[in-house]
Amino acid sequence: CDVCVHGLLDTTDALEQLISPVVEEMKDVSTSYFANKRLQNVNATADTLRLGVDAMLLDPTGLDYSPLVGSVQELEKQRDALDRTVSQAFY
């Protein structure tokens, strides 16, 4: 019946007005919660990395740079090969 439908619509409108502020407040709480969790993760990662950096600073002779040196040498070889290719193409 029309009266019942209008009554239900009025009730749902009133409920929406009651619930909307709570929903907005929960959005803010949710955003804050996830931002806090992300900050905790960043802090934990920074702490872990800090331990590694401290260990490297205490004993720099214990570091093995050979993998990095090998990578740099390989990149230099690739660069030289590309330089030769470009030089041959334009000269």
As a whole number of angstroms, the distance between CA 16 and CA 21 comes to 9
7: its two tokens: 């009554």
| Overall average pLDDT of the 38-42 stretch | 92
Range in 32-36, 52-56, 59-63, 82-86 with the lowest mean pLDDT? 59-63
As a whole number of angstroms, the distance between CA 44 and CA 41 comes to 5
Residue 5's H or E segment, with its range, is helix 2-58
More confident residue, 22 or 44: 44
**Residue 60 above 90 pLDDT?**
no
65: its two tokens: 């740079």
